[in-house]
Amino acid sequence: MKKGFAPDLKRVRDLQSFPELRWLDRFDIIVPVLLAVGCYFLGEALETWAPGLGTNGWQMLIWGFFVSTVLCSHGTYTINSLSHVFGKQRYNTGDSSRNNWFLALITLGEGWHNNHHHYPSSTRQGFYWWEIDVTYYLLRAMSWLGLIWDLKPVPVSVRDHHPRRIQPLK
């Protein structure tokens, strides 16, 4: 219904200063439709200009849009379920969130879920150098190119604060 569709701008005041984000919020279906159409026509173009690749529009639509969307969704669902069951808790966050290195690898850093629950406003979810966080590396590269800015790091005092370490449930 219309009431549930429109954002409550009183709760998201900074959204008011970005008309392009408000437009994307209002017409959220446009980006996926453009991606799907783009995948199809890219496949058609490749079939014409590079037939040796053996691809076509339908193949690109299925793999480039539908399969990738399903995998992305399942990656998100995996984090919100398995990262609350398997792994280790570095921080006492009052919930069951856990860090899981394997899930972090396959979800590009989202598996450092206990870190995220400890300090959710950080750009980086892998707080230490050994915690691989591909999403953070990509964001850093975009900041070097000037595409994004104001990345929020994890303060060392927050990162190294371990009032009580919790062992994983057995």
Domain of 141, in residue numbers: 90-170
Least confidently predicted of 17-21, 32-36, 41-45, 104-108: 17-21
Residue that has been written with the tokens 């598996």 in this structure: 111
Angle at 79 between CA 73 and CA 80, to 5 degrees: 90
Mean pLDDT, residues 51-59: 96
Question: Which residues lie closer than 8 Å to 26 by C-beta, 6 or more apart?
Answer: none
DSSP 149-170: ----PPPHHHHT--SS-BPPP-
pLDDT at residue number 144 = 97
Question: Which residues lie closer than 8 Å to 78 by C-beta, 6 or more apart?
Answer: 103, 106, 107
Asked if residue 128 and residue 71 are part of one domain, the reply reads no
Q: Among 31, 54, 82, give the residue marking a domain's end.
A: 82
54-65 CB burial, b ≥16 within 10 A, e <16: ebebebbbeebb
67 DSSP assignment:
I
Contact in structure between 99 and 126 (CB atoms under 8 Å)? no
| Torsion, CA 36, CA 39, CA 44, CA 47, rounded to 10 | -150
Residues 36-54 pLDDT 10s: 999 999 999 999 999 999 9
Q: Among 29, 53, 82, give the residue marking a domain's end.
A: 82
Asked if residue 116 and residue 63 are part of one domain, the reply reads no
